[in-house]
Chains A and B, each alone.
Chain A
Amino acid sequence: MRPAQDNQGSFLGRISIRRNQFVDVNNEQEQEDLELFQRHIADRFTELLSHPPQQPPSDEANTVSPVATTEQIMSVTWLRKLMDVFLCCEAEFKAILLMGRDPTQISKPPFDRLVPEMLDRSIKALDICTAVVNGIDSVRHYQRLAEIAVAALEQRPLGDGNVRRARRALANLVVALSLEDKENTSGGGGGGGGGNKTTERSWSFGRRSGGSSAASKGGATIGQLKSSSWAVGRNWSAAKQIHAMTANLNPPRGNEAAGLPQPMFIMSTVMVFVMWVLTAAVPCQERSGLANHLPVPPKHLSWAQSLIGIHEKIGDEWKKKEKKGSAGLMEEMTRMEKLGHSLIEFADAFHYPAEKDASESAAAQVAEMAEICRRMEEELVPLQQQIREVFHRIVRSRAEILEVLEQAGKLSAPVV
């Protein structure tokens, strides 16, 4: 037995010597991988930025752009593309981080700091995913309201009652679309109250606080109920979460810039960015100051150009919307709101029997609204599924990285 053991020992020894000798070659390979990764990131985001045939900025009047391309930035189709991009980047990143790598490497400085920071960020992203999936449910509620309005306005002959019904749904719709907080979406029926935004809620709260004794049995107050309808815990804030994700997110300097810290920085940036976009796109719990929370990566980084471009576009839009309140920047929602206002005007001016001109222009808008609803019907659920997939991917990757770290821990543990 003895000689065999000796042999083995020296054999292993030789391997480790060889590995050290080959370090330079490995480095070259790694450099290539890293460059490729950066190029892929750049390509993917460039495609996201350039894909929509640029639309002329629509003026403030009620002209609703007749042809809305499906792949406009922030459209539901575009968001789905963004999810795909994220999944691709993530898969590629993980390959770089873990494949063929000596586990102990990522447990040594500076990775003993960078990896936990990255894992921490990914957990925070999970909360965002949950909140956004929930937010998309809210969008589905808007869609239902819009569908009710569409169905009512498609009635022929169009009577005052149909218009009345449509107007009620539209009023609820535009209020919901311009409210910052998610609370407006979960309560209230499709038909309660008129155009005033508190009607629906106060009516249902009236039921709660007054009237029935059953209501007070559970001791549930309005505030409690409100917070219980949030997907994530109480006091949770999407904006704060995004902000927390950006903590310690700094471009690597010096020696680190050439190695593994670089793709780690890139991937983290992409993750925070994607989460930020989702948060801005659909209703989400507590988002004040969202636009300020994303640090823009240095402009000289080639991979970041398009990402910065998209960020600027969305950021500007957000700042504009934040002033007057908005449930989200999803392109379909924006258009829905515009159409909603315009159809409310039509409804307010409506006299039975309908005038031909007015009803024709309204019919076009109704058709567009119907088209938006159709697209939402087709794409919102798949988008939700993709976000869940992102969620599961993040969970899986985290588990894999932890596993490698554990292995590294065993390997580097002092042998007694």
Chain B
Amino acid sequence: MAEFELKLPVQKNHVFEACHHVVKALRASDNNLDANLRKLLSDLESHLSTFGMVDTEVEDTGFSKIKDRFEEAEKTILGWEQNQSMILDAGLSEADQFFQALYEVQTVLVGFKALPIKANQKEKDVYNQATVALDIAMLRLEKELCDVLYQHKQHVNLEYLAVSSRGKDIAYNDESFVSLDDEVVVEASSHEDDDEEILGFQNADLVDPLVVPHVKAIANAMFACDYGQAFCRAFNNVRREDLEEYMFFTLEMERFSFVDILQMEWENLNGKMRKWTKVLKIITRIYLPSEKQLCEEILGEFDSVSTSCFVEISKESILSLLNFGETVAMRPSQPEMLERFLSMYEVTSEILLDVDNLFPDETGSFLRMAFHELSKKLADRTIATFLKFKDAIASNESTRAFPGGGIHHLTRYVMNYLKLLPEYTDALNSLLENLEVEDSITEITGQDTLPSTFSPMAKHLRSIVSTLESSLDRKAQLYADESLKFIFLMNNFHYMVQKVKGSELRHLFGDEWIRKHIARYQRNVTNYERSTWSSVLSLIKDSNDSVATLRERCRLFGLAFDDVYKNQTRWSVPDPELRDDLHISTSVKVVQSYRGFLGRNEGRIGEKHIRYTCEDIENLLLDLFECLPSPRSLRSSRRR
């Protein structure tokens, strides 16, 4: 392929011709030439004549040669004007021929412009024809450029980049904080399956590398002929459309007005925010560096042109991404937006370096700055939302006791929410660094302590959970039944511990926190047992009562047990292990006491006065905390 260069190896003929013209022009310009100069000129003339070039005859042949060659070139160019197929497809030699023709035309123009004075009509005509031929050739190249770029474009087509918000939007549907009190919250689907990280940031080829030299040749030719602006316009248009197509169709990004975004339903917006985060990452980390590389490959030789083209190509799409971020940051912060804000903040802070590299100089500085501003805004917004999240927990009040003493949806919501946060550890730590908070455990340092346990994020998370605990304590006060209060607290604290232990949160909350909280729910177990069973079991304590009293105590025990059974089978301990443990420890206590009581007194009381066997009690105890809809009818068969 012909490399078209500005520094044309000017042909001999031309030089001679030019010199000849210069001499003639100088002579003609002034009759009173200085003697020295006159001498110089005639020397030069004689030198030139030794090459046999100066006489008019030769001049004519020189010109006619040029004219012939020009006409040949013109024919080539006009041929391609009619031919709509790509020059590229015609093969190397054809392309070469075209660029060669262009070079001939350019030679005529440059030559003529160097010596326009006293050109004869024939020469002038050739010049004029050459301007037309050049323009035709340039227009043809512009079309060639668009066709080549268009037909050989390649998209970033990597599977792991697939963007989809399917299913993700649903996960949050019923998590709206506002309606928490009435709805059962489906556990938040975790974030992990969401986006596979964008592996590596290697640049992609946005245009087939095989055609890049051809495009470069077009650029060189058009810039050499002073059609650089036309090249840039065409190049930018195709590349910009390509970027827009990629962003708005392949990645399915949408454009919204401010009004749209500010009025958008949260569930809907949530999906858009996810998509934005992902698109922003792909565009700034893969697409734009690739685009920049393409611009540099093709236009790198023309100083700032490649930069300004790159800015021109990417500006509109980038601004539209920025606008979305800005608008979202204008929405009043709702606690449920925390995770989205976190991920938006995280991505903007992560890509700042990439953006700085993309737009290192003045031309794109406004874009660079806009990204930094956006990142700052999102940081503020995220902190505000974080605090709001805590406020919302603090101010979450119930008017009625939570039925069954199970796991309150606030606990579920908060813990599942917190579980999502370790993914944003770096972002959160930097955001919360300067925000004072009261910690629930004392800071200790030592070999056994992970540094993460006393990171700003860890302190804040513990503080959020403390807020949750206070709220739960208030909710617990609403129970009329003391025992149920303990079950409620036990359930919720156990749930919290499980969530922490079973996730990345354990490194943040730390062993001490976990120990303390295990102790806390175990205390609730003890408290429960005491408050429910102490009085019941006191009925069958050892004593030297009369038969009648023994019978009465046995009867009362049966009634008390019925009562507990009726109530507590409706209570809920959702965790099967915890429930088993509770069954076992209750069983050990109750059955043992009962067995002892019967063992000692069965004979005296008489079988017909004994309502439950030990086996009955053991079996019935298994029904407790099963959250039965209505009390199971107790077998009265034994009551004869």
Interface residue ranges, A against B (CB under 8 Å): 123-124, 126-127, 130, 133-134, 137, 144, 147-148, 151, 155-157, 159-162, 164-165, 168, 186-192, 203-204, 207, 211-212, 214-215, 217-220, 224-225, 228-234, 236, 352-353, 385, 395, 398-399, 402
State whether A187 and B151 are in contact (beta carbons under 8 Å apart), knowing that A162-B135, A228-B244 are contacts in the complex: no
A190 x B229 contact (CB < 8 A) = yes
State whether A189 and B230 are in contact (beta carbons under 8 Å apart), knowing that A127-B257, A207-B147, A233-B255 are contacts in the complex: yes
- In the complex, whether B233 has a CB less than 8 A from a CB of chain A is yes
B259 x A124 contact (CB < 8 A) = yes
A127 x B255 contact (CB < 8 A) = no
Q: Which of A155, A157, A224 is the one whose CB lies under 8 Å from B249?
A: A224
Q: Which of B233, B249, B259 is the one whose CB lies under 8 Å from A190?
A: B233
Q: Which of B133, B143, B327 is the one whose CB lies under 8 Å from A161?
A: B133
Q: Which of B131, B248, B332 is the one whose CB lies under 8 Å from A228?
A: B248
CB distance from A194 to the nearest CB of B (A): 10
Q: How far is the CA of A124 from the CA of B257 in the complex (A)?
A: 9
Q: How far is the CA of A157 from the CA of B315 in the complex (A)?
A: 38
State whether A233 and B256 are in contact (beta carbons under 8 Å apart), knowing that A190-B234, A353-B124, A399-B330 are contacts in the complex: yes
B234 x A225 contact (CB < 8 A) = no
A164 x B249 contact (CB < 8 A) = no
CB contacts (< 8 Å) of A157 on chain B: these are 116, 124, 127
B 132-169 to A, binary, CB cutoff 8 A, 1 in contact else 0: 11111011001100110011010100000000000000
- In the complex, whether B258 has a CB less than 8 A from a CB of chain A is yes
- In the complex, whether B128 has a CB less than 8 A from a CB of chain A is yes
Q: How far is the CA of A414 from the CA of B438 in the complex (A)?
A: 28
CB contacts (< 8 Å) of B262 on chain A: these are 123
Q: How far is the CA of A133 from the CA of B127 in the complex (A)?
A: 44
- In the complex, whether B481 has a CB less than 8 A from a CB of chain A is no
Per DSSP, chain A at the interface is helix
- In the complex, whether B323 has a CB less than 8 A from a CB of chain A is yes
Q: How far is the CA of A160 from the CA of B326 in the complex (A)?
A: 51
A225 x B330 contact (CB < 8 A) = no
Q: How far is the CA of A204 from the CA of B326 in the complex (A)?
A: 34
The residue of chain A having its C-beta at the shortest distance from the C-beta of B154 within the complex is A214
Q: How far is the CA of A236 from the CA of B258 in the complex (A)?
A: 11
The residue of chain A having its C-beta at the shortest distance from the C-beta of B323 within the complex is A130
CB contacts (< 8 Å) of B132 on chain A: these are 159-161, 164
State whether A233 and B249 are in contact (beta carbons under 8 Å apart), knowing that A144-B229, A188-B237 are contacts in the complex: no
- In the complex, whether B3 has a CB less than 8 A from a CB of chain A is no
A236 x B257 contact (CB < 8 A) = yes
CB distance from B272 to the nearest CB of A (A): 12
Given contacts A137-B315, A232-B255, 20 further A-B contacts (CB under 8 A): A123-B259, A124-B259, A147-B229, A159-B132, A162-B131, A165-B135, A187-B237, A188-B237, A189-B142, A189-B237, A191-B230, A203-B143, A204-B237, A211-B147, A211-B150, A220-B249, A231-B316, A233-B254, A233-B256, A236-B257
B257 x A402 contact (CB < 8 A) = no
CB distance from A175 to the nearest CB of B (A): 15
B151 x A212 contact (CB < 8 A) = yes
B 224-262 to A, binary, CB cutoff 8 A, 1 in contact else 0: 001001100110010011001100111000111111101
CB contacts (< 8 Å) of B116 on chain A: these are 156-157
Q: How far is the CA of A204 from the CA of B147 in the complex (A)?
A: 9
A151 x B153 contact (CB < 8 A) = no
CB contacts (< 8 Å) of B151 on chain A: these are 211-212, 214
Q: How far is the CA of A219 from the CA of B248 in the complex (A)?
A: 12
CB contacts (< 8 Å) of A165 on chain B: these are 135, 138
- In the complex, whether B320 has a CB less than 8 A from a CB of chain A is yes
CB contacts (< 8 Å) of B248 on chain A: these are 228
Q: How far is the CA of A167 from the CA of B339 in the complex (A)?
A: 57
CB contacts (< 8 Å) of A162 on chain B: these are 131, 135
CB contacts (< 8 Å) of A189 on chain B: these are 142, 146, 230, 233-234, 237
Can you pick out 24 interface pairs between chain A and chain B where the beta carbons lie within 8 Å of each other? A127-B258, A137-B316, A151-B226, A151-B229, A155-B131, A159-B131, A160-B129, A160-B131, A161-B136, A165-B138, A189-B142, A204-B146, A212-B150, A214-B150, A220-B249, A228-B245, A228-B249, A229-B316, A231-B316, A233-B257, A352-B128, A353-B124, A395-B330, A398-B330
CB distance from A159 to the nearest CB of B (A): 3
Q: How far is the CA of A12 from the CA of B547 in the complex (A)?
A: 75
Q: How far is the CA of A134 from the CA of B135 in the complex (A)?
A: 31
Q: How far is the CA of A215 from the CA of B257 in the complex (A)?
A: 28
Q: Which of B134, B138, B241, B315 is the one whose CB lies under 8 Å from A191?
A: B138
A191 x B234 contact (CB < 8 A) = yes
CB contacts (< 8 Å) of A160 on chain B: these are 128-129, 131-132
Q: How far is the CA of A219 from the CA of B316 in the complex (A)?
A: 22
State whether A161 and B134 are in contact (beta carbons under 8 Å apart), knowing that A211-B151, A212-B150, A352-B128 are contacts in the complex: yes
CB distance from A218 to the nearest CB of B (A): 4
B255 x A231 contact (CB < 8 A) = yes
CB contacts (< 8 Å) of A232 on chain B: these are 255-257
CB contacts (< 8 Å) of B229 on chain A: these are 144, 147-148, 151, 190
Q: How far is the CA of A233 from the CA of B241 in the complex (A)?
A: 17
CB contacts (< 8 Å) of B128 on chain A: these are 159-161, 352-353
CB contacts (< 8 Å) of B142 on chain A: these are 189-192
State whether A134 and B316 are in contact (beta carbons under 8 Å apart), knowing that A148-B229, A353-B124, A395-B330 are contacts in the complex: yes
B245 x A123 contact (CB < 8 A) = no
B234 x A231 contact (CB < 8 A) = no
CB contacts (< 8 Å) of B410 on chain A: these are none
Most chain-B Cβ atoms within 10 A of its Cβ — which of A126, A189, A212?
A189
- In the complex, whether B366 has a CB less than 8 A from a CB of chain A is yes
- In the complex, whether B217 has a CB less than 8 A from a CB of chain A is no
Q: How far is the CA of A229 from the CA of B132 in the complex (A)?
A: 35
Query: Lowest 3 A-B CB distances belong to which pairs?
Result: A161-B131, A159-B131, A189-B234
CB distance from A244 to the nearest CB of B (A): 9
Q: How far is the CA of A218 from the CA of B116 in the complex (A)?
A: 53
CB distance from B135 to the nearest CB of A (A): 4
CB contacts (< 8 Å) of A207 on chain B: these are 146-147, 150
A218 x B245 contact (CB < 8 A) = yes
State whether A229 and B244 are in contact (beta carbons under 8 Å apart), knowing that A159-B128, A190-B229, A191-B138 are contacts in the complex: yes
Q: How far is the CA of A214 from the CA of B245 in the complex (A)?
A: 12
CB contacts (< 8 Å) of A148 on chain B: these are 229-230
CB distance from B416 to the nearest CB of A (A): 28
Q: How far is the CA of A156 from the CA of B254 in the complex (A)?
A: 49
CB contacts (< 8 Å) of A159 on chain B: these are 127-128, 130-132
The residue of chain B having its C-beta at the shortest distance from the C-beta of A398 within the complex is B330
Q: How far is the CA of A232 from the CA of B255 in the complex (A)?
A: 6
Q: How far is the CA of A64 from the CA of B147 in the complex (A)?
A: 40
CB distance from A275 to the nearest CB of B (A): 13
CB contacts (< 8 Å) of B146 on chain A: these are 189, 204, 207
Q: How far is the CA of A332 from the CA of B310 in the complex (A)?
A: 27
State whether A233 and B135 are in contact (beta carbons under 8 Å apart), knowing that A151-B226, A188-B237, A398-B330 are contacts in the complex: no
CB distance from B351 to the nearest CB of A (A): 21
CB distance from A130 to the nearest CB of B (A): 6
CB contacts (< 8 Å) of B237 on chain A: these are 186-189, 204
Q: How far is the CA of A124 from the CA of B315 in the complex (A)?
A: 23
The residue of chain B having its C-beta at the shortest distance from the C-beta of A145 within the complex is B233
Q: Which of A126, A161, A228 is the one whose CB lies under 8 Å from B258?
A: A126
State whether A218 and B255 are in contact (beta carbons under 8 Å apart), knowing that A159-B131, A204-B146 are contacts in the complex: no
Q: How far is the CA of A252 from the CA of B132 in the complex (A)?
A: 67
A219 x B230 contact (CB < 8 A) = no
State whether A234 and B316 are in contact (beta carbons under 8 Å apart), knowing that A161-B130, A190-B230, A211-B151 are contacts in the complex: no
The residue of chain B having its C-beta at the shortest distance from the C-beta of A168 within the complex is B139
The residue of chain A having its C-beta at the shortest distance from the C-beta of B229 within the complex is A148
CB contacts (< 8 Å) of A151 on chain B: these are 226, 229
CB contacts (< 8 Å) of A212 on chain B: these are 150-151
CB contacts (< 8 Å) of A234 on chain B: these are 255
CB distance from B633 to the nearest CB of A (A): 46
State whether A218 and B249 are in contact (beta carbons under 8 Å apart), knowing that A130-B258, A186-B237, A233-B254 are contacts in the complex: yes
Q: Which of A156, A220, A233 is the one whose CB lies under 8 Å from B260?
A: A233
